[in-house]
Structure 1
């Protein structure tokens, strides 16, 4: 983990949970339990129904789409995790190593989500039910955020974590105990996407709203933050320890954390919003 606060900056309840449940907690869990009111609560409110709620897409197919998004971001942590989850949730219905063997609708939406992720200004709607496209966009939104953060913060899978972590995620349906997520006022919007938008970009935080908003496009960001945020948005797999070390000389870790999250969420929302606008046109 490239920020020490994600290793040892948790609240007491989170530290106790981490110490009881695992000798070596997965990096994704440590991220999600750090300041859950800023990102985690609305993100998980979105993730659980997107990945395990009623859908046109089976659970295995949604894991396959998540893996496909991870491939676009060149995120080994997420590729390996979702390939394993595809096998677990799919019960053999879909082979992560044979994408061409998926049913035609999955192949179609997979190509669509690649455009959404990489070229949101060139979206053409596929010949699929509107509800199916909306559901796929939400799956894509979640992992366009998480992949960027996994790359940025340097997530790695340690011995035994792939098997234990994926089975726990599947068993609990991407849900965390509520007491671990209690942190500040909850969002008031019915849509967790809008709660996340508010929490990351408008709610009070360590950095001001203008700085977090600037991370979405890079316009107005100070010099050391501008190329950093651009990498998060466009090529998070290129981030290095050196990128974080450079920022550490000028910014507190919580400031770097918030800018990282804002850039990742902003880029993912740009793609998601483009897809939604096409559907609503």
Structure 2
């Protein structure tokens, strides 16, 4: 049970969805940011950007965000959940392109402390072909997910236990996007 009364059935609106229903005027800009960063036109695929969100959320030990964004990434990456699990377990040996590995290292540094993003990390990403836009957005995705993670965990929201229950919400987000979460009449993408 959340630390505050969110005014919703938490089993229907778990994780970040309950607080967004509680305060829709803040939900809209949060979802607009997620939509631009994770789904908008970009040289990185939506699956790769969701992987960055899942990776940071895992490092922050935010179970809801890590599990949901892992499912969202897996649904959009050819290698699926095995790749997501490999990246989360051991980035160095995971079979991802060198550019993505360098960007994930930047994301991990942001998660720890933004000042730990060093010129060496940025140059390593550039050496692997990362553009300024990709570096910028990796930093912003990591910073935003530190905020989203703390929002979810700071309110003590419900996290469904079964990781397989996140497949349907992944399809829902892929089809409708993050802005659909701000529609009060939208059917919930909540995990079972």
Residue 162 in 1 paired to residue 166 in 2?
A: yes
Alpha-carbon separation, structure 2, partners of 1:24 and 1:154: 15
Residue 32 in 1 paired to residue 13 in 2?
A: no
Give the 5 Å matches for 1:195-206: none
**Aligned CA distance change for structure 1 residues 119 and 4 (closer, same or farther; 3 Å):** closer
Match of 2:108 in 1: 114
Give the 5 Å matches for 1:59-208: 59-92=46-79, 95-99=83-87, 100-125=94-119, 126=122, 127=126, 128-155=130-157, 156-157=159-160, 161-176=165-180, 180=184
CA RMSD of aligned residues (A): 2.5
Runs of 4+ in structure 1 deviating by more than 3 angstroms, as ranges, are 158-161, 177-181
Over residues 161-214 of structure 1, what are the superposed CA-to-partner deviations in whole Å (9 max), with x where a residue is unaligned?
422222212221212266549xxxxxxxxxxxxxxxxxxxxxxxxxxxxxxxxx
Alpha-carbon separation, structure 2, partners of 1:151 and 1:51: 21
Over residues 52-89 of structure 1, what are the superposed CA-to-partner deviations in whole Å (9 max), with x where a residue is unaligned?
01112111111111111012111122222122111101
Measure how far apart 1:93 and its partner are: 6.8
Verify the 8 A CA contact 2:53 2:141 in the aligned structure 1: yes
* Structure with greater Cα Rg: 1
Aligned length in residues: 168
- Secondary structure of the residue aligned to 1:27 is coil
Q: TM-score, normalised by structure 2?
A: 0.76
Verify the 8 A CA contact 1:60 1:93 in the aligned structure 2: no
Alpha-carbon separation, structure 2, partners of 1:164 and 1:28: 16
Alpha-carbon separation, structure 1, partners of 2:74 and 2:23: 32
Alpha-carbon separation, structure 2, partners of 1:91 and 1:145: 29
Between the two structures, name the one with larger relative contact order (CA 8 Å, sep ≥ 6). 2
